[in-house]
């Protein structure tokens, strides 16, 4: 093999190696940009949620600082709050909302239990334990209805179980008869008390 042939061979190998490096860098750059593009696609929703939570937090801080009831009225109340004249009425309203949303999507409510919450100057943190049953598809629709609708309701815990006695050859699949236990949280308001 002559020196010219050897030089030509090393040049081709060098170009192939350089090409592989360039392709590898481009692939890594493409993969690295996926989270950024996803973040940009959900940014408007995140911004809206942050504004709503900041509003709630500011109203709580102002009420605690001034030792005065929150000045939330029908005209300026964000749709984030569950309405009610007291913490108990707001909790009952939240129970009704959760049962209505379950019925709309085909979930069956087995049990609803209010949990202890906190109430300060016309604003209350409301919490419920809910046990439902239904199919996987209706569960998906139920969770979407809870977290995408107004008022703001947050799912804090979820436990899903299937019937233990489902046998092979049974016509009902385990995903068609799920038992779902949820713990949800929302904020209730009843405005200034005179």
Task: List, as one string, the DSSP characters of 77-146.
Answer: --TTSEE-SSHHHHHHHHHHHHHHHHHHHT-EEEEEEEEEEEEETTEEEEEEEEEEEE-HHHHHHHHHHH
Q: pLDDT, tens digit, for every residue of 127-161?
A: 999 999 998 888 888 988 888 777 888 888 999 88
List the Cα angle 68/90/69 in 5-degree steps.
5
CATH number at residue 107: 3.30.70.60
Say if residues 153 and 147 touch (Cβ distance below 8 Å).
Answer: yes
Residue 93 falls inside a structural domain: yes
In degrees and rounded to multiples of 5, residue 47 shows phi and psi of -60, -45
Say if residues 128 and 183 touch (Cβ distance below 8 Å).
Answer: yes
pLDDT-derived band of residue 193, with 50, 70 and 90 as boundaries? very low
Residue 46 falls inside a structural domain: yes
Same domain, 34 and 7: yes
SS3 172: coil
Q: What is the pTM of this model?
A: 0.56
Same domain, 182 and 94: yes
How many domains, the chain? 2
Q: pLDDT, tens digit, for every residue of 42-91?
A: 777 767 766 766 666 666 666 666 655 545 455 445 567 888 778 888 88
Instruction: List CB contacts of 167: < 8 A, sequence separation 6 or more.
Output: none
Query: Which of 15, 34, 67 delimits the end of a domain?
Result: 67
Task: Determine the Cα–Cα distance for residues 22 and 30; give it in Å rounded to an integer.
Answer: 12
Burial 174-185 (b: 16+ CB within 10 A, else e): eeeebebebbbb
Same domain, 142 and 53: no
Residue 73 falls inside a structural domain: no
Report the DSSP pairing between strands 178-189 and 82-83. Answer: parallel
Residue 46 lies in domain:
1-67
Same domain, 86 and 119: yes
């Amino acid at each position: 093999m002559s020196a010219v042939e050897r030089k030509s061979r090393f040049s081709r190998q060098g170009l192939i190696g350089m090409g592989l490096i360039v392709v590898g860098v481009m692939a890594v750059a493409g993969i690295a940009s996926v989270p950024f593009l996803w973040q940009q696609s959900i940014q408007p929703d995140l911004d809206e949620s942050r504004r709503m939570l900041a509003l709630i937090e500011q109203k709580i801080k102002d009420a605690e600082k001034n030792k005065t009831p929150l000045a939330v009225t029908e005209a300026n109340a964000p749709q984030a709050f569950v309405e009610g004249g007291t913490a108990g009425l707001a909790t009952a309203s939240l129970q009704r909302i959760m049962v209505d949303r379950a019925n709309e999507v085909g979930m069956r409510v087995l049990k609803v239990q209010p949990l202890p919450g906190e109430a300060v100057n016309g604003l209350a943190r409301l919490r419920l334990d809910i046990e439902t049953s239904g199919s996987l598809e209706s569960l998906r629709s139920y969770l979407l209805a809870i977290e995408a609708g107004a008022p703001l309701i947050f799912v804090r815990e979820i436990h899903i179980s299937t019937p233990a006695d489902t046998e092979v050859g049974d016509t009902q699949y385990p995903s068609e008869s799920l038992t779902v236990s949820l713990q949800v949280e929302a904020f209730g308001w009843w405005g200034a008390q005179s």
